[in-house]
Amino acid sequence: MMNEVWLIGRLTKDPEEKKTPNGKTVARMTLAVDRDYTNTDGERETDFIEIIAWEKLAENCIKHLGKGRLVSVKGRLQIRTYDDSQGTRRKAAEVVAEKVKFLDKAKENA
């Protein structure tokens, strides 16, 4: 099937580094993506979209990205299902990054 996502937005915080049991690097990021249009209250809403990157891409993100950075992400939308602590079935959506482009320069001393 086809499943393609393309986003441009800003990181809400530094990438969070994780390791899988077998040692693969995972980076978790949240991207703030402003909507084009304002809502009925005249406010511009923002989608906060979870991004996950794996291995070398994850390492590059962790090394070079930080809070506030503007990036483009190409990836696919993944829906995970899991049971929470109360045993209720929950769903989590995240974009699995296949390509991340750093669009502004890192700020010095920031």
Partner DNA sequence: TTTT
Binding site for DNA (CB under 7 A): 9-13, 30, 32, 34, 46, 48, 67-68, 81, 89
31 is written with which tokens? 């991207």
Kindly state the smallest distance separating residue 55's Cβ from DNA, in Å: 23
Kindly state the smallest distance separating residue 57's Cβ from DNA, in Å: 21
CB 75 within 8 A of CB 89: no
26 in contact with a copy of itself (CB under 8 A): no
Binding a copy of itself (rule: CB under 8 A), the pick from 41, 79, 83, 108 is 79
Q: Rounded CA gap, 110 and 82, in Å?
A: 37
Residue with tokens 């530094």: 14
60 in contact with a copy of itself (CB under 8 A): no
5 in contact with a copy of itself (CB under 8 A): yes
51 is written with which tokens? 């991004």
Q: Rounded CA gap, 32 and 10, in Å?
A: 5
